[in-house]
Amino acid sequence: KKYIVGWRKAERERLRALVRKRKAAAYRIKHASILLETDADGPAWIDERIAGAFGCHVRTVENVRRRCVLEGL
């Protein structure tokens, strides 16, 4: 993988709160869920497993990961 995602505790909690509250746009909640599963210090799921779990394409997972690394949360 070219873009490795690792979260500090505060960032991880921010993403979890976004997913838990369900008060954001659906794509933001899905992207936050994807980012939580890509965490190198956490579950570190492979892209295919994430795509299957959230009903999206593998390319979507790659794009979310890339944007996060290059642009930040």
Instruction: List phi, psi (to 5°) of 5.
Output: -105, 130
pLDDT digits (tens, 9 = 90+) for 31-48: 999 988 887 777 778 889
pTM (global) more than 0.85: no
Three-state secondary structure call for residue 5: strand
Report, as ranges of residue numbers, the positions in the chain whose pLDDT lies below 50: none
Tokens coding 32:
């936050």
Q: What is the DSSP letter of 38?
A: H
